[in-house]
Amino acid sequence: MVEDLRTAVAGPIPVDRPWTARTVAGLIASPDGIVLVSDGGFIAGSLQPTIINPRPIAMEHGWFARDRSGLALLRQFEGWARHHGAALIQLSTGPDGLDLSRLGYRIAEKAWVK
Is pLDDT at 76 greater than 80 in this prediction?
Answer: yes
pLDDT at site 9: 67
pLDDT at site 109: 86
- The reported pTM is 0.88
pLDDT at site 63: 92
User: How many percent of the chain have pLDDT more than 70?
Assistant: 98
pLDDT at site 13: 83
> Exposed (0-12), middle (13-18) or buried (19+): which is 34, by Cβ within 10 Å?
buried
Q: H or E element: which one contains 15?
A: none
pLDDT at site 87: 97
Q: What is the mean pLDDT of residues 9-20?
A: 82
DSSP state, residue 51: S
Q: What is the mean pLDDT of residues 92-100?
A: 83
pLDDT at site 89: 98
DSSP-based helix, strand, coil % in the chain, nearest 5: 35, 20, 45
- Model confidence band, residue 30 (pLDDT cutoffs 50, 70, 90): very high
CA angle 43, 47, 52 (to 5 degrees): 130
Rounded Cα gap, residues 72 and 97, in angstroms: 17
